[in-house]
């Protein structure tokens, strides 16, 4: 992968600028006033996948926000990696806690990031991680060092529960078939500890409603109730 590393080094500034442009799109899936921006982000991402050389790039419509798909099948005999990510982001509230506009990314050094880090909504969850995979595949394709088949499935509803993802996966089971799924939207133990999550479990969202008496009975009222002789008539 020496040639791939050289490509990454020589294109680092371009990669960074392309990511910053993606971060400038306020693709907030939870707020309908950003619906056009969500579509814009999907279109931008689809164009990026085409530019790096992926085939069958498609913006797949759902009942909600679209899913972006693309693939590079080099040889059916090779293993296939399905890359999952999402391009939607959480709302930026509360705005007053930001030191820079959330969709105007800046790079700055902090105590936690002495080498510098990008500060913007989506820089960490999940545009940054997702775009890392896109640029990695671009670099390997450019230098003919991609060792496997690759498929991308990038959704726009992760931050609102992925309501339509299950339907899409079920309907596109054959197209999405793969030997392994690569997800980068996971946790890190610490900034200085490399972390690899090898398995994920699903989440179950449950709302529990409990009803009871308007007033809690006193101990003595319960005692009197329980000690009262049982009466019956013949």
> How many Å separate Cα 78 from the centre of its chain?
27
Which one of the listed residues 37, 88, 157, 159 is annotated catalytic? Answer: 88
Q: Which two tokens stand for residue 175?
A: 């197209």
* 16 SS3 class: helix
Rounded distance between C-alpha atoms, residue 76 and residue 15, angstroms: 30
Active site residue 125: no
Rg (CA), the chain: 25
Q: How many CB atoms lie within 10 A of CB 16?
A: 14
Residues whose CB falls within 8 Å of the CB of residue 180, separated by 6 or more in sequence, listed in order: 79, 80, 81, 82
Active site residue 88: yes
Which one of the listed residues 48, 71, 126, 158 is annotated catalytic? Answer: 158
Rounded distance between C-alpha atoms, residue 52 and residue 182, angstroms: 19
Residues recognised as catalytic: 88, 158
């Amino acid at each position: 992968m020496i040639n791939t590393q050289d490509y990454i080094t020589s294109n680092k500034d371009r990669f960074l600028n392309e990511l910053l442009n993606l971060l400038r799109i306020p693709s907030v899936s939870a707020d309908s006033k950003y619906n056009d921006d969500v579509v814009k982000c999907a279109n931008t991402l689809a164009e990026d996948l085409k530019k790096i050389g992926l085939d069958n790039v498609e913006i797949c419509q759902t009942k909600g926000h679209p899913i972006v798909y693309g693939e590079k099948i080099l040889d059916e005999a090779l293993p296939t990696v399905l890359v999952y990510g999402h391009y939607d982001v959480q709302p930026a509230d509360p705005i007053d806690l930001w030191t820079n506009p959330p969709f105007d990314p800046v790079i700055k050094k902090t105590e936690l990031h002495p080498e510098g880090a990008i500060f913007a909504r989506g820089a960490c969850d999940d545009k940054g991680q997702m775009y890392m995979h896109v640029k990695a595949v671009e670099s390997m394709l450019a230098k003919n060092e991609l060792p496997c088949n690759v498929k991308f499935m990038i959704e726009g509803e992760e931050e609102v529960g992925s309501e339509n993802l299950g339907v899409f996966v079920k309907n596109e089971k054959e197209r999405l078939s793969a030997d392994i799924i690569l997800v980068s939207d996971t946790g890190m133990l610490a900034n200085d500890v490399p972390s690899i999550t090898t398995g994920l479990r699903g989440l179950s969202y449950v709302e529990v409603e409990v009803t009871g008496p308007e007033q809690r009975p006193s101990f003595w009222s319960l005692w009197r109730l329980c000690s009262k002789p049982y009466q019956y008539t013949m």
